[in-house]
C-alpha cells in the first residue's frame, strides 16, 4: 500500500541522482547522493527530530515561484568539514584547518545550492509547476539557533518536509539534511498532487 510519502521518496531519489551528477562534476570526483529517509511534520515538531546542541551551517533559499516556502540545506560542523575535505579544489592546508575558510564556506554554499535546486526541480515534477528560489544565503551557529531563524517566519499550521541526505565518496561518508518549510497551502498542494499520482498509478 503506497502513500504520499512514497511518491515524495521516489521523487527524492530522482533528485539525488541528478544531484550526484552535478556534485561529481563540481567536486572533481565521484559523489553519490542518497535520500535514506523522508518525513512530513508540523513546523512545531521540527526541533524534536534534530540534535539541537551541535554547531552547524545552513544554506537557505526562499522559494519565489511554484510553491510558498523556504528550502534549507543543513550540515552539522563535523559533516561540513568532511564535505569540504572531499573537494578537489581545497588546498591541503585548508583541509587540515579547524577553522572554516572563505573557500570552504563557498564550497558548502555551492553544494547546498545544488542539493536545493535538484530537490526543487523534483518537487516541481510533483506539482507540475516551475519551482524557483532566490540566490542562497549562508548562516551558522548552533542548530537550535539556525532552526529558530528558519522557522521565525512560518505561520501556525505550516509544515516541514524533512529529508535526510547522505553523501558518499570512496573514503568518506557524510550526512546532512534538506528541509522544505512549506506554507499550509503548499503542503496541501504537494499532498494532493501525490494523491493524484497514486490514483493514476492504480488505474494503470
> DSSP character for 67?
S
Q: Which three cell numbers stand for residue 28?
A: 572533481
Asked whether the predicted pLDDT for residue 153 surpasses 50, the reply is: yes
**Residue 162: pLDDT over 50:** yes
Residue 158 scores a pLDDT above 50: yes
Higher pLDDT, 115 or 93: 115
Number of neighbours of residue 164 by Cβ within 10 angstroms: 16
For residue 106, the Cα-to-chain-centroid distance in whole angstroms is 17
User: Is residue 94's pLDDT more than 60?
Assistant: no
Task: Calculate what percentage of the chain has a pLDDT beyond 90.
Answer: 19
Which cell is 8 given? 515524495
C-alpha 112/C-alpha 176 separation (Å) is: 10
E strand or H helix at 40:
strand 38-42
The radius of gyration of the chain's CA atoms, rounded to the nearest angstrom, is: 17
Q: How distant, in Å, are the alpha carbons of 23, 73, 134 from that of 166?
A: 12, 12, 25
Predicted structure pTM score: 0.83
Coil, helix or strand for 35? coil
Summarize pLDDT for 15-52 with one digit per residue, the tens: 888 888 888 887 778 888 888 888 888 888 887 777 76
Helix 184-203 and helix 102-127, axial crossing angle in degrees, nearest 10: 50
Domain boundaries, the chain: 4-203
As its CATH architecture, domain 4-203 has: 3-Layer(aba) Sandwich (3.40)
Mean pLDDT of 155-177: 85
pLDDT band at 88 (very low <50, low <70, confident <90, very high): low
Higher pLDDT, 161 or 87: 161
Beta bridge partners of 62: 70
The yes-or-no verdict on residue 58 having pLDDT over 90 is yes
Q: What is the pLDDT of residue 96?
A: 52
Q: CB 137: neighbour CB atoms within 10 A?
A: 11
Q: Reduced to 3 states, what is the DSSP secondary structure of residue 12?
A: helix
Amino acid at each position: 500500500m503506497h502513500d504520499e510519502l512514497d511518491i515524495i521518496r521516489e521523487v527524492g531519489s530522482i533528485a539525488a541522482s541528478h544531484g550526484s551528477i552535478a556534485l561529481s562534476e563540481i567536486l572533481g570526483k565521484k559523489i553519490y547522493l542518497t535520500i535514506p529517509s523522508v518525513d512530513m511534520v508540523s513546523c512545531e515538531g521540527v526541533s524534536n527530530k534534530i540534535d539541537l546542541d551541535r554547531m552547524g551551517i545552513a544554506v537557505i533559499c526562499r522559494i519565489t515561484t511554484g510553491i510558498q516556502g523556504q528550502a534549507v540545506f543543513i550540515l552539522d560542523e563535523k559533516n561540513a568539514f568532511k564535505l569540504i575535505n572531499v573537494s578537489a579544489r581545497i588546498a591541503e592546508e585548508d583541509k587540515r584547518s579547524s577553522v572554516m575558510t572563505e573557500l570552504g564556506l563557498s564550497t558548502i554554499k555551492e553544494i547546498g545550492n545544488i542539493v536545493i535546486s535538484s530537490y526543487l526541480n523534483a518537487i516541481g515534477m510533483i506539482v507540475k509547476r516551475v519551482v524557483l528560489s532566490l540566490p542562497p544565503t549562508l548562516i551558522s551557529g548552533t542548530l537550535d539557533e539556525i532552526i529558530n531563524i528558519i522557522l521565525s517566519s512560518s505561520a501556525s499550521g505550516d509544515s516541514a518536509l524533512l529529508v535526510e541526505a547522505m553523501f558518499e565518496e570512496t573514503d568518506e561518508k557524510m550526512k546532512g539534511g534538506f528541509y522544505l518549510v512549506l506554507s499550509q497551502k503548499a503542503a496541501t498542494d504537494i499532498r494532493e498532487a501525490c494523491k493524484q499520482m497514486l490514483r493514476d498509478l492504480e488505474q494503470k
